[in-house]
Structure 1
Amino acid sequence: MSEFSIIDGHCDSLLDFVNGKRTLLAPSEGGHWDTSRARSAGVALQFLAAFIETRYKPSLATQRGLELIDGARRFIAGHGDQVFQVLEKEDLRGIPDPSRIGIILSVEGGEILGDQLFMLDTIYHLGVRALGITWNQRNALADGVGEKTQSRLTNLGQQVILRMNELGMLIDVSHLNEAGFWHVLELSQDPIAATHSCAKALCDHPRNLTDQQLRALSKHGGVVGVNFYPSFLTQTGQAELKDVVRHICHIAEVAGVETVSLGSDFDGITEVPKGLEHVGDFGSLVDELLKAGFSTQEVDKICSGNFMRLLSKVLK
């Protein structure tokens, strides 16, 4: 096990569990993430995303989202010896737990709310503590990066941001278009996160953040979790472990080491960097960060400290 605790800001492994493909307990079942390899790699807290597939949008998005949340609750309740859910600030005191992985339940895409603000309170009461405002498409809150628009948040989207601050939910701007990103920063009193994004200066992809956005996140006390998807890391779409480190170094240089963390996107990406093929490889990433010249204190911030600081400010 790594001497550093890991907080991973995003994985999509929940879909495999809900669809009956894997138990998420053993490497032999395949996939990028399971509790066995995660524990061995020092993962202390995992953001587990409920990603609503495009085929369910818009009419069945709420139903599918609730189905995924129910699946996450079943997974957590059924494996209390291996995982526990983080619901409030006090729960952060239990991290790291030597035998169990903390779980933050997130929803990837505000379409779960339909066009009703009360649904935000509903999913909060079901245990959701982070919400991605959009995926790549437009919903009733805002436009995703796939729309290629410069539309700001809708009236509902603005209400959602303010209510998330009141409830103590982490606002996730990965996938949100740039105009929406700036609008969120205008509105939110709490720091926000881009849980699984990279640096646009190194790879010009719509999903990545400009240096201006990175600096604004830093000024606001936010965090960006570097995504492991090769197409976000290099223009060629082929990547190695060193390319993940390159993005981490760039963000640390531009926005400060307190702004950068990890957001693997495991089981939500079709390709992975060579040398970082699954959750068990986090130790190799730690080694490369140390070789790149980061101090042990800085590596600790990147691996877990920055997300812990953010969550301690947002959760109630």
Structure 2
Amino acid sequence: MNATELHNDAIVIDGLICSKWERALFEDMAKGGLTAANCTLSFWDNFEETVRNIVEMNGLIEESSDLLLKVRTTEDIYKAKREGKTGIMMGFQNAHAFEDQVGYVQVFKDLGVGIVQMCYNTQNLVGTGCYERDGGLSGFGHEIVAEMNRVGMLCDLSHVGSNTSKEVIDASKQRVAYSHCLPTGLKEHPRNRTDEELKYIADKGGFVGVTMFTPFLAAGVNATIDDYVDALYYIYNIVGEDAIGIGTDFTQGHSHEFFEYLTHDKGYARRLTRFGEIVNPLGIRTVGEFPNITEALLRKGFTERQVRKIMGENWVDLLKDVWGA
């Protein structure tokens, strides 16, 4: 089976996209052969604002029902594959939307939210992000983790501080994930993870999605798809073939203002970081070029079976474990 045939036959999942939600993007998802994607609907939005974002996404899914299908279960992912559509998995990059109400976890699960990152870069009521001194998982945070476990919602640790991440891994009775990260072993960055952290989450049954966000790659804006696959291979050698997948962090269609929002605490307060130029690696500039990842993985020497796992099957297994059959 050649790369094109394999890509077309495989379950293809992007574990993190925070692009501009519009028809042009959905068409590009179809072009890229995406079976499903974890789509960010909340950063520092409060409960009410996040509900409005979900309402808006529900409308977009309805308007583009020829291309999209809302995902609540892993069976919905298989259904999207059968129907040639892209499954929209609703996710948050911050637990801020839960405010101080444990009961809101169930509310959002009922609305279709299946993946929530515990913190986004800085402190919230749950714990601490990766850009400040890490006080670990709070007492309230322990309650949130337990409730997310109960309702079947994946705990994401991508932008979470090291101490808080470890304490979530230890506290959770379900598998957890870094949905989109890169290794410190290839570039020192507050958003990247050490070999020890990567091994720890994998040893505890967790999962690592590998991002291609160029500020975190060694070659920066000069990176190519082969640099991305090299980073993926680096993590693969630490966590193994069953605990790894794709989490691009695509920000397609967004303006400069969006990145200013992301790089300031709460979206408006102190500056946390500067990304510089935002450009994805050559060969995977857009979601529509997703088949190039399959080709690059094969070129790197991964077997067809390993490519299927990395491109999506491992994500499905993880979500099946957390969400339930």
Could you tell me the TM-score, scaled by structure 2's length? 0.85
Aligned-pair distance for 1:129?
A: 0.8
Equivalent of 2:127, from 132, 136, 142? 142
Call closer, same or farther: CA 1:81–1:168 in 2, change over 3 Å.
same
**Which AA in structure 2 matches 1:162?**
A
Equivalent of 1:106, from 91, 105, 114? 91
1:178 is aligned to 162
Gaps (5+ residues) in structure 1? Answer: 18-23, 27-33
* Alpha-carbon distance between aligned partners in 2 of 1:112 and 1:228, rounded to the nearest angstrom: 27
Aligned-pair distance for 1:95?
A: 4.6
* Alpha-carbon distance between aligned partners in 2 of 1:236 and 1:276, rounded to the nearest angstrom: 14
**Which AA in structure 2 matches 1:25?**
R
**Which AA in structure 1 matches 2:297?**
L
Gaps (5+ residues) in structure 2? Answer: 253-258, 260-277
After TM superposition, the structure 1 = structure 2 runs for residues 1-12 of structure 1, keeping only pairs within 5 Å, are 2-3=7-8, 4-12=10-18
After TM superposition, the structure 1 = structure 2 runs for residues 211-250 of structure 1, keeping only pairs within 5 Å, are 211-234=195-218, 236=220, 238-250=222-234
After TM superposition, the structure 1 = structure 2 runs for residues 86-101 of structure 1, keeping only pairs within 5 Å, are 86-101=71-86
* Alpha-carbon distance between aligned partners in 2 of 1:135 and 1:303, rounded to the nearest angstrom: 26
Q: Which moved more, 1:161-170 or 1:87-96?
A: 87-96
Aligned-pair distance for 1:89?
A: 4.1
Query: Does 2:235 match 1:251?
Result: yes
* Alpha-carbon distance between aligned partners in 2 of 1:48 and 1:284, rounded to the nearest angstrom: 21
* Alpha-carbon distance between aligned partners in 2 of 1:280 and 1:146, rounded to the nearest angstrom: 32
* Alpha-carbon distance between aligned partners in 1 of 2:280 and 2:78, rounded to the nearest angstrom: 32
User: Is the CA contact (8 Å cut-off) linking 1:47 and 1:106 kept in structure 2?
Assistant: yes
Equivalent of 1:190, from 174, 182, 185? 174
2:302 is aligned to 294
User: Is the CA contact (8 Å cut-off) linking 2:219 and 2:227 kept in structure 1?
Assistant: no
List per-residue Cα deviations over 1:1-47 (Å, max 9, x = no partner).
6333310001112xx34xxxxxx222xxxxxxx22221222210111
Query: Does 2:289 match 1:281?
Result: yes
Q: Which moved more, 1:69-78 or 1:251-260?
A: 69-78
**Which AA in structure 2 matches 1:11?**
I
User: Is the CA contact (8 Å cut-off) linking 1:50 and 1:107 kept in structure 2?
Assistant: yes
2:110 is aligned to 125
2:315 is aligned to 307
Please give the secondary structure, in 2, of the residue aligned with 1:51.
coil
Aligned-pair identity (%) = 26
**Which AA in structure 2 matches 1:312?**
K
**Which AA in structure 2 matches 1:313?**
D
Aligned length: 294
User: Is the CA contact (8 Å cut-off) linking 2:221 and 2:281 kept in structure 1?
Assistant: no
* Alpha-carbon distance between aligned partners in 1 of 2:200 and 2:56, rounded to the nearest angstrom: 36
